[in-house]
Chains A and B, each alone.
Chain A
Amino acid sequence: EAGVTQFPSHSVIEKGQTVTLRCDPISGHDNLYWYRRVMGKEIKFLLHFVKESKQDESGMPNNRFLAERTGGTYSTLKVQPAELEDSGVYFCASSQEGPSPLHFGNGTRLTVT
């Protein structure tokens, strides 16, 4: 089966610009997660979708971040406007229904200059 895919793999933008990250989960996986690793720090949970519904968005840092999962398939994470501290690697993960292991994508490395 195809794994979790993320686009783009790298993105370099200027402060104040907008960036949209995309995640395609493994087909049939209802659960979709976004995580972020800021350089030198822990990988932090951002939010969790079950199908198209936001189950838990307690990790979203502020209202500059907007995540969507229309139709319960792929998900997008938009950062608008981007700030320097948003730089890091954004990981997406998916899993089957229930407490199943997470399958991670390769991540999107975002650099805000």
Chain B
Amino acid sequence: GNSVTQMEGPVTLSEEAFLTINCTYTATGYPSLFWYVQYPGEGLQLLLKATKADDKGSNKGFEATYRKETTSFHLEKGSVQVSDSAVYFCALSDSGAGSYQLTFGKGTKLSVIP
């Protein structure tokens, strides 16, 4: 079956530090890959996505590249801000299953301190 493994948190960084959250996946087909973010008190929001190998998703300064050879989709940001404090979830969907069902990782809590 499909699975997603992402680095355990929590992660605490100072403002303007570089962020990497590792994510690797196992899937039977050719999945689409996503990063979702949950800010305090809010629901999950799609941060970025990539639908095929070598695609790069980007949004709000965050980037992630779909690496089929290493089955990875690591999230990066060059300079984090306090407002980036949230829980980040890596996810995949195997749309070949006939639905847009998502398989999530456990989530990584990021705290950015001034």
Contact = CB atoms under 8 A, between A and B. Distances in A.
A binds B: yes
B103 interface: yes
Given A41-B106, A42-B106, A99-B95, A104 B44 contact: yes
Contacts of A45: 101-103
Interface in B40-73: 41-46, 49
A102 B42 contact: no
Interface in A26-49: 31, 33, 35, 37, 40-45, 48
A67 interface: no
B100 A105 contact: no
Contacts of B103: 42, 45
Interface residues of A, number: 26
Given A43-B89, A48-B99, A91 B44 contact: yes
A4 interface: yes
A62 B103 CA distance: 20
